[in-house]
């Protein structure tokens, strides 16, 4: 028997829905065949009662196969993989171990498409070759053939006597990547149900991701509760709980979960802003403003100011909102910021200043019906009847403002 010269991570370099690692898988170096096969080199029916580990026992392989594999392995050990490939390709031996080793060498050279072909040939010659299936899955994944990778992982697991549960996880993540979300959910669900004592958080991550993509997040409610009971002090679990709650539109629960993430580890600026968004959706603008402030970057984007000011206005913190607006407008003038400034003046009943800002907004966005409506309303409050009628007439041309504009026109006509 030849010692394995290296190990392989069958998912090295793959970025899945979550980061995963299958661990080391040794290079196939031993095979088992019957004495007749050893003498003639022709395939014969193998005794299926034989241990599948014997598939890699070189002692039982045909002499020519052993000779080719030993010679190729010698070059590969010395770093001359190209020469090892040449030897295997030119051997003329149609044997699953030759195909397996050739596929592995090609994969090491980064020739994944060729490697995939030889992995396919290896498992065609020997369907019980688990390492061949795993190698095929790795190559297919790297080539973004996710559906084929998922099937290869599943088949490898079925023929592998050791039944490594990680392989099922990889099959599920590959199905996620393939867009087969229902199948992915079934894989992750079975994985959790069949291994309750050793369930991993990433299995639940896969299940929730699949359920959300099938637009049936509520279907995994029991699993999410179970996950929370198993990993109550893990911030990753609470972040997943937050994502799940957002998916079912339970924004208050989502805010609670994200707050708990903050207790277990510091929230990133983007997570602070996410929490601000949640409090906005939950109708708690004062708390939203607190988190928008906490999420402001050293050089915040205009959108960050817009969210902060909107929440401050909703919380009736007008002085602070106006101060933030001045800072934002000094950096960049946007229609949203101008509209917010106009709204602050309007809320303070400073109709003259509000009308000027709404007029500026109409210059920036001539098709903004609200800008014309609010100008007309301010003119009406200032007693400017003719100006109000002209502005409201323009506003009535916009479908969303038409009804209110007509009501205000009637009011103006009575002045």
Query: For tokens 């006597």, what's the residue?
Result: 161
Q: Is residue 192, in this structure, part of any structural domain at all? A: no
Q: What angle do CA 33, 38, 39 make, to 5 degrees?
A: 150
Is residue 101 one of the residues assigned to a domain?
yes
When mean pLDDT is compared over 1-10, 17-26, 349-358, the highest value belongs to: 349-358
The more confidently predicted of residues 327 and 176 is 176
pLDDT band, very low/low/confident/very high, at 302 (cuts 50, 70, 90): confident
Residue that is last in its domain, among 145, 175, 199: 145
The token pair that represents 76 in the structure block: 């590969």
**Residue 335 belongs to some domain of the structure:** no
Please, which residues bridge with residue 9 across strands? 24
Closest CA to 333 of 365, 311, 310: 365
**Which pLDDT score, from 0 to 100, does residue 330 have?**
87
pTM: 0.71
Cα 49 from chain centroid?
A: 43
Is 94 within the bounds of a domain?
A: yes
Comparison of pLDDT for 12 and 221, the residue scoring more: 221
Question: Mean pLDDT over all residues of the chain?
Answer: 85
Phi, psi of 3 (to 5 degrees): -70, 140
Tokens of 70: 């030993």
Query: What is the distance of C-alpha 304 from the center of its chain?
Result: 24
pLDDT digits (tens, 9 = 90+) for 69-114: 999 889 989 999 999 999 999 998 999 999 999 999 999 999 999 9
**Percent of the chain scoring above 70 in pLDDT:** 87
Through-space distance between the first and last CA atoms of the chain, rounded to whole angstroms:
104
At 53, the pLDDT band (50, 70, 90 cuts) reads low
CB 392 within 8 A of CB 405: yes
CB atoms within 10 A of CB 96: 24
Supply the range of the domain harboring residue 383: 352-415
Which one of 145, 170, 188 terminates a domain? Answer: 145
CATH number for 90: 1.25.40.10
- Give CA separation, 339 vs 100, 127, 154, 309, in Å: 67, 68, 57, 11
* Cβ atoms of residues 30 and 4 within 8 Å: no
The encoded tokens of residue 38 equal 């050893």
Supply the pLDDT for residue 51.
55
Q: How many CA atoms lie within 13 A of 414 on its CB side?
A: 6
Domain boundary among 114, 145, 176: 145
Residues 309 and 340 sit within 8 Å (Cβ to Cβ): yes
Within-domain flag for 161:
no
Q: For 303-348, how does the pLDDT look when each residue is reduced to its tens digit (9 = 90+)?
A: 898 899 899 999 989 999 899 888 888 888 999 999 999 999 999 9
pLDDT digits (tens, 9 = 90+) for 306-317: 899 899 999 989
Distance CA 159, CA 138 (A): 17
From 89, 92, 93, 108, select the one nearest 27 (Cα to Cα). Answer: 108
Q: Is residue 312 part of a domain?
A: no
The domain total for the chain is: 2
């Amino acid at each position: 028997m030849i010692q394995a010269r290296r190990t392989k991570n069958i998912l090295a370099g793959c970025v899945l829905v979550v980061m995963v690692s299958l661990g080391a898988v040794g290079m196939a170096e031993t095979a088992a065949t019957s004495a007749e096969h050893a003498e003639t080199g022709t395939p014969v029916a193998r005794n299926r009662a034989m241990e599948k580990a014997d598939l890699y026992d070189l002692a039982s392989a045909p002499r020519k196969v052993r000779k080719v594999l030993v010679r190729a392995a010698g070059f590969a050990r010395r770093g001359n993989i190209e020469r090892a490939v040449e030897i295997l390709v030119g051997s003329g031996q149609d044997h699953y171990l030759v195909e397996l080793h050739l596929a592995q060498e090609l994969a090491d050279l980064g020739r994944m498409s060729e490697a995939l072909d030889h992995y396919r040939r290896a498992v065609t010659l020997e369907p019980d070759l688990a390492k061949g299936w795993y190698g095929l899955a790795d190559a297919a994944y790297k080539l973004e053939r996710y559906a084929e990778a998922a099937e290869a992982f599943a088949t490898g697991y079925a023929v592998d006597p050791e039944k490594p549960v990680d392989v099922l996880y990889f099959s599920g993540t590959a199905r996620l990547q393939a867009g087969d979300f229902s199948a992915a959910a079934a894989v992750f669900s079975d994985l959790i149900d069949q291994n309750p004592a050793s369930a991993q958080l990433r299995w639940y991550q896969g299940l929730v991701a699949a359920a959300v993509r099938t637009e049936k997040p509520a279907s995994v409610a029991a699993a999410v509760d179970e996950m929370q009971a198993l990993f109550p002090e893990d911030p990753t679990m609470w972040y997943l709980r937050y994502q799940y709650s957002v998916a079912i539109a339970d924004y208050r629960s989502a805010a609670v979960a994200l707050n708990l993430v903050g207790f277990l580890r510091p929230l990133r600026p983007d997570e602070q802003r996410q929490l601000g968004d949640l409090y906005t959706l939950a109708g708690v603008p004062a708390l939203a403003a607190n988190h928008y402030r906490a999420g402001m970057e050293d050089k915040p984007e205009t959108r960050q100011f817009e969210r902060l000011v909107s929440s401050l206005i909703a919380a009736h913190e007008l002085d602070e909102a106006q101060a933030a607006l001045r800072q934002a407008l000094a950096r960049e003038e946007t229609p949203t910021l101008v509209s917010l400034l106009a709204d602050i003046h309007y809320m303070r009943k400073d109709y003259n200043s509000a009308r000027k800002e709404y007029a500026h907004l109409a210059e920036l966005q001539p098709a903004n019906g609200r800008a014309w409506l609010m100008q007309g309303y301010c003119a009406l409050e200032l007693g400017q009847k003719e100006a109000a009628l002209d502005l409201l007439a323009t506003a009535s041309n916009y479908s969303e403002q038409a009804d209110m504009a007509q009501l205000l026109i009637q009011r103006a006509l009575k002045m």
